[in-house]
Amino acid sequence: MDAAVGTDSPPAVVVMGVAGAGKSTLAIALAERLGAVFVEADDLHSAEAKAQMAAGIPLTDEDRWPWLARVAARARDEHADRHPVVVSCSALKRSYREFLTRVSETGLAFVHVHGSETQLAERIGQRTGHFMPATMLASQIATLEPLADDEHGFVVDLELALGDAADRALDFLRRNA
């Protein structure tokens, strides 16, 4: 039994949302609390996709499927080794989340970090060294399909302190494992 969440299977979690939401920060905090492997989906984008986004050109579904396959495979491989895994991945559309769940074979839980467009733009403006320009935020918001009631996940507000957000995510995992 995994003491971190009270199940026989280690947790597999995707922290999702648009650019600037704080996905990676929360995912790292969750991974530390769970003793989990952290996977940064941005690192699995092709060089071409990163260049396309850096140029302000949104990715299409066709651009995203190979990337999502790499993300799902990495989550599956880590989970197959009985490691808890926490992935930071935009997972903007329901179809992407369904694909990640199916291909990763892990029964993923999704934590959607949500905030207003104003909050997100401010946060993007403060970060450095990321390939995603602030001009891409509007296209990500337009693409985002919020978690539906029948999806395995919940929403956390980006305004929460990091510790509080991680506590809420862990509570969700314990109650819904």
Fold of 12-175: Rossmann fold (3.40.50)
Q: Which of 105, 102, 112, 118 is nearest to 145 (CA)?
A: 112
Residue 8 to residue 1: CA distance in whole angstroms: 4
Tell me if 137 sits within 8 A of 19, measured CB to CB.
yes
Residue 177 to residue 171: CA distance in whole angstroms: 10
**In the chain, where the domains are located:** 12-175
Tens of each residue's pLDDT in the chain, 177 residues: 233 444 455 689 999 998 888 899 999 999 999 999 999 999 999 999 988 888 888 888 999 999 999 999 999 998 888 889 999 999 999 999 999 999 988 889 999 999 888 888 787 777 665 555 566 788 888 999 999 999 999 999 988 999 999 999 999 988 886
Place of tokens 């314990």: 174
Whether pTM > 0.85 for this model: the answer is yes
User: How many other CB atoms are there within 10 angstroms of residue 20's CB atom?
Assistant: 25
